[in-house]
Amino acid sequence: MKLGLKLLQERARKGSFWWPYISNLPETYSVPIFFPGEDIKNLQYAPLLYQVNKRCRFLLEFGKILKHELENLKPDDHPFSCQDVDSSALGWAMSAVSSRAFRLYGGKRPDGTRSNVPMMLPLIDMCNHSFDPNAEIVQEEANSDRNMLVKVVAGKEIKQNDPLLLNYGCLSSDLFLLDYGFVIPSNPYDCIELKYDAALLDAASMAAGVSSPSFSSPSPWQQQILSHLNLDGPNSNLKVTLGGGELVEGRLLAALRAVLSNDEEAVKQHDLETLKSLTVEAPLGISTEVLALRTVVALCVIALGHFPTKIMEDESLLKQNVSPTTELALQFIIQKKSLIVDVMRDLSKKVKSLLAK
Ligand X SMILES: C[S@@+](CC[C@H](N)C(=O)[O-])C[C@H]1O[C@@H](n2cnc3c(N)ncnc32)[C@H](O)[C@@H]1O
Tell me the closest approach of the beta carbon of residue 148 to ligand X, in angstroms.
19
If phi > 0 it is left, if psi is from -120 to 50 it is alpha, else beta; for residue 166 that is beta
Chain-centre distance for alpha carbon 224: 30
Looking at the Cβ atoms of 296 and 329, the one nearer to ligand X is 329
Looking at the Cβ atoms of 284 and 334, the one nearer to ligand X is 334
Q: Can you give the binding site for ligand X, defined by CB under 6 A?
A: 99-100, 125-130, 180-182
| Sequence letter at residue 349 | K
How far apart CA 264 and CA 257 sit, in angstroms, is 11
93: how many CB neighbours lie within 10 A of its CB?
Answer: 22
Tell me the closest approach of the beta carbon of residue 236 to ligand X, in angstroms.
35
Tell me the closest approach of the beta carbon of residue 101 to ligand X, in angstroms.
8
Tell me the closest approach of the beta carbon of residue 166 to ligand X, in angstroms.
8
If phi > 0 it is left, if psi is from -120 to 50 it is alpha, else beta; for residue 262 that is left
Q: Which residues of 261-294 are buried (b: 16+ CB within 10 A; e: fewer)?
A: beeeeebeebeeeebbebeeebbbeeebbbbbbb
How far apart CA 330 and CA 117 sit, in angstroms, is 33
Phi and psi at 239, nearest 5°, equal -80, 120
Tell me the closest approach of the beta carbon of residue 61 to ligand X, in angstroms.
25
| Sequence letter at residue 172 | S
Looking at the Cβ atoms of 130 and 277, the one nearer to ligand X is 130
How far apart CA 258 and CA 157 sit, in angstroms, is 51
Tell me the closest approach of the beta carbon of residue 98 to ligand X, in angstroms.
8
Looking at the Cβ atoms of 183 and 256, the one nearer to ligand X is 183
- Parallel, antiparallel, or unpaired: how do β-strands 135-141 and 101-108 relate? unpaired
Looking at the Cβ atoms of 183 and 303, the one nearer to ligand X is 183
How far apart CA 96 and CA 98 sit, in angstroms, is 6
How far apart CA 233 and CA 227 sit, in angstroms, is 6
Instruction: Report how far apart, in Å, the C-alpha atoms of 335 and of each of 42, 142, 258 are.
Output: 13, 44, 31
Looking at the Cβ atoms of 178 and 290, the one nearer to ligand X is 178
Tell me the closest approach of the beta carbon of residue 142 to ligand X, in angstroms.
24
Q: What is the DSSP string of 49-73?
A: HHHHHHHHHHHHHHHHHHHHHHTT-
Tell me the closest approach of the beta carbon of residue 336 to ligand X, in angstroms.
18
- Determine contact, residues 318/330, Cβ cutoff 8 Å: yes
Looking at the Cβ atoms of 33 and 225, the one nearer to ligand X is 33
Looking at the Cβ atoms of 97 and 225, the one nearer to ligand X is 97
Tell me the closest approach of the beta carbon of residue 3 to ligand X, in angstroms.
14
Looking at the Cβ atoms of 80 and 180, the one nearer to ligand X is 180
